[in-house]
Structure 1
Amino acid sequence: MDLQDYLAAVIFGAVIGIVARIVLPGRQNIGIILTVLIGMGAAVAGTWAADRWDIHSDKFLVVRGHSYDWLVIGVQVGIAVVGVAVAALLAKAFSTDDDDD
């Protein structure tokens, strides 16, 4: 992997994380860095899961010569939604704010 691949992974991870936050209802009190990290992890985990269980389609999103399978993207976003939900629940559970008064 070269620098361009890492940059693409960060950008794609950010997009997946942000899409997950949009799909997930309610407010999530987690920062943008954690959102990007969750998105990046979801991109890797979703790719692995799609390969492991042979989840592929014949529909592709092509960006600058790279092809992305729509079903794989769906798996990645699904994993990111779960990751954002878990992070938001943990952030709320360990929060020291007294907003409940």
Structure 2
Amino acid sequence: MSKPLGYYTSYTPGEDTLLASLQEEYGATFEKMTLREKLVILTALASHMGCQLEGDCRAEIFAIAKQITEHLTISDQAGIMEAIISQIRWGQNAEPVHHS
């Protein structure tokens, strides 16, 4: 995260919120967290958000995820995460197109 937490969230300096507490404890760019710790938080958030949604996940998606982790570089994996996060954040969540 190269920009401060407030750039990505509703955090405003001077507030007494969880976001303020997180920034105070771990830095404005979470620089006091390790990469592993950031990934644990990302995993927990993704799991929590996914559980809030209705419906099932297609089996092929699990196979694709396995292929991604086995065959792509860490850099490409991070790029896919960034792309998906951007799509989730900015509403590019259309139903999948099924080609016949």
Provide the TM-score with structure 1 as the length reference: 0.26
Which structure is richer in relative contact order (CA contacts within 8 A, separation 6 or more)? Answer: 1
Provide the TM-score with structure 2 as the length reference: 0.27
Instruction: Specify which structure has the higher proportion of helix.
Output: 1
Max Rg structure: 2
Instruction: Specify which structure has the higher proportion of strand.
Output: 1
